[in-house]
Structure 1
């Protein structure tokens, strides 16, 4: 029988990508995984980002801190090679990586360029599929894969523009991967937080208005924070959620149920 005093992710190993700073959703997830007992491997984008991420990784006791730019040939392989050499296996992978060129993000979908759309799709969606492919051999006893989405994937959020279709593709990818990987015990979820005050989100036009509207629409009447997202995501990686897969899980105070 499970000992309630045992931390539910004790003995598990989690790879967390996309930590940029202490306001990142990925950092909230990494903190929650660590609080629940998981060992951590954390990635940072490049040398410019490393000074912001390294102190956070040290604070969480991460065993690995690795560069990862999914556009750079070989970096994804290098991350998974390091995980294999250090741990030999993996239980959790969190993908929190998205990018669109500014000119494509700030114009309407109709005006998005083919190159900008393809670039956003590759970095924000297909890199998750590439990550899953490399994670599977390290999960012989099953595991959980997570990708970060947003409600703009399912309804029109003015100013979200081309990221709406890109995140919709990411959510569909999670469902198809859940189907393909279910027989080997690997579960896949898309996580859809409400608007948060992160550096990445602040680049969206009308972001302050989006925050205000989220509070107004949410039945709970509050914004979520990165730890709300982190603990809900961590729960999905525990044995308590072992029969859940293929979901888009909203952590938004209930805002998505409102018309």
Structure 2
């Protein structure tokens, strides 16, 4: 049976109770894991704190990945509290609205660089900080989307950014595999979250996906959480470098 009893996990990216990160955190907790969770800033804290309490999170930490000291402090706190880390979920992405809403070729240099830094390179920085805490092995997860592999209308700038994230993850899997650290990518279909609401005509994308997916429905954050819990569990001990779709089969439709 799937169990995360006696495992310590870090969840980065909870914004509210509709977040993919929250769905994953619920599944981790239900499977018995102890959790540390982060919040972006003071405004986000008011939304995240009640959820962290519900999850029984023993550490609730500020973590803006654009502030190096906050990221380092997050892992320092985990080291002091637990002395180790068994798994990590990176579920954050950002692009400036003006760059996201326009054509890719019109995106600004600074906007592209910032989207890549927050959405992709932050996962590498977390992996580097997590590695010393995973001396006995561990699991790293990040979240992508089908638009990394195929052109999705209005996904624009985030397509190449997520493609970079997926490619980075498989290289990380190769580099960290000898240390017993597995790296996998969750690729859900469109899910109505606060972050997704910034994509132009997102409701039309949701409707089209539900109509065309083989299962004729959408996956939700609970479905993603179930897969995430499996991938960080010992049942997935030899699964690494995968991009796992949780999209009711939409990715197989031409």
Q: CA RMSD in A?
A: 0.7
User: Are 2:47 and 1:21 aligned?
Assistant: no
Q: Look up the match of 1:226.
A: 221
Cα displacement (A) at 1:72: 1.2
Post-superposition CA distance 1:108-145 (Å, at most 9, x none): 10101111100100000000000000000000111100
User: Are 2:83 and 1:88 aligned?
Assistant: yes
Q: Look up the match of 1:79.
A: 74
Distance in 2 (alpha carbons) for counterparts of 1:144 and 1:213: 34
Distance in 2 (alpha carbons) for counterparts of 1:92 and 1:230: 14
**Counterpart pick for 2:174 among 154, 179, 196:** 179
Distance in 1 (alpha carbons) for counterparts of 2:233 and 2:45: 30
User: Are 2:22 and 1:32 aligned?
Assistant: no
Q: Look up the match of 2:156.
A: 161
Distance in 1 (alpha carbons) for counterparts of 2:64 and 2:151: 29
Post-superposition CA distance 1:45-104 (Å, at most 9, x none): 000000100000000100000000001130100000000000000011000111100000
Equivalent pairs, count:
254
Q: Look up the match of 1:43.
A: 38
User: Are 2:236 and 1:237 aligned?
Assistant: no
Q: Which runs of 5+ in 1 are unaligned?
A: none
**Counterpart pick for 1:189 among 179, 184, 199:** 184
Question: Would you identify which runs of 4 or more consecutive aligned residues in structure 1 move more than 3 Å?
Answer: none
Cα displacement (A) at 1:203: 1.1
Distance in 1 (alpha carbons) for counterparts of 2:68 and 2:23: 28
- The TM-score with structure 2 as length reference comes to 0.99
User: Equivalent residue of 2:68, what SS?
Assistant: coil
Distance in 2 (alpha carbons) for counterparts of 1:73 and 1:28: 27
- The TM-score with structure 1 as length reference comes to 0.97
User: Equivalent residue of 1:65, what SS?
Assistant: strand
Aligned ranges for residues 54-65 of structure 1 at < 5 Å? 54-65=49-60
Q: Look up the match of 2:119.
A: 124
User: Equivalent residue of 1:189, what SS?
Assistant: strand
User: Equivalent residue of 2:123, what SS?
Assistant: helix
Distance in 1 (alpha carbons) for counterparts of 2:132 and 2:39: 23
**Counterpart pick for 1:216 among 211, 215, 218:** 211
